Amino acid sequence: MTTKRSSRAVAKSATSLRPHVLVLHGPNLNLLGSREPRHYGLATLEDINLALTRLGEAAGAHVETFQNNHEGALIDRIHQAALDHVDFIVINPAGYTHSSVALRDALAGTAIPFVEVHLSNIYAREDFRHHSYFSDLAVGVISGLGAHGYELALEFALRHLQNRTSHGSQKTEKAH
């Protein structure tokens, strides 16, 4: 049986074998630690990013973080992720979860596997928060585990990439 390698896998193997994970934080997440701690906890965005960077380093991966309050900037970063040969995305679309078809289309268009993360349990909150434009494309969804949800998403991403690599770079995630 012959396995066709994606052009991303070929380009990645030529540049570096170190996994590259991009963590995207949507609008208002820069206010973590002070914004509605009942829903979002006391961890700051800096705390979360530092923990993820350390976890990545310990696993031999490059973890890059990016937060922006503007939809276009997040879309541009996703487009750039494909050019940068990012292997996996961990994304908390925040308020865009329930409204951004454009952000969804950027993720679908790049076909980079991703996990959707939410600090609060979106299904235990207002009705409008129960619908996500991303969940059906995501490899998985983590909701309601606070800052720890990001760490679990990163651990999953690294395991997912390791499994994919050990199976001849075969693409095992959902087709977008």
123 tagged catalytic:
no
20, 25, 40, 133: the active-site residue: 40
Q: Residue 82 domain-assigned?
A: yes
145 vs 132: CA distance, rounded Å: 17
Q: Residue 94 domain-assigned?
A: yes
Instruction: Give the strand pairing for 62-67 and 140-143.
Output: unpaired
Encoded tokens for 32: 């973590």
Q: Residue 41 domain-assigned?
A: yes
Q: Residue 51 domain-assigned?
A: yes
Domain ranges, residue 28: 24-166
**Number of domains into which the chain is organized:** 1
Q: Residue 12 domain-assigned?
A: no
pLDDT at 61: 97
176 residues of the chain, pLDDT tens digit each: 333 334 444 455 434 689 999 999 999 999 998 877 677 677 899 999 999 999 999 999 999 999 999 999 999 999 999 999 999 999 999 999 988 999 999 999 999 999 999 998 876 566 756 578 799 999 999 999 999 999 999 999 999 999 876 665 444 444 34
> Hey, which residues does 23 pair with through a beta bridge?
65, 90
pLDDT at 156: 98
20, 85, 118, 160: the active-site residue: 118
Which CATH number characterizes residue 87's domain?
Answer: 3.40.50.9100
User: Helix 45-58 vs helix 148-166: angle between axes, to the nearest 10 degrees?
Assistant: 30
pLDDT at 42: 79
Q: Residue 42 domain-assigned?
A: yes
Q: Residue 18 domain-assigned?
A: no
pLDDT at 98: 83
Sign of the Cα torsion 133, 137, 143, 148 reads negative
Q: Residue 96 domain-assigned?
A: yes
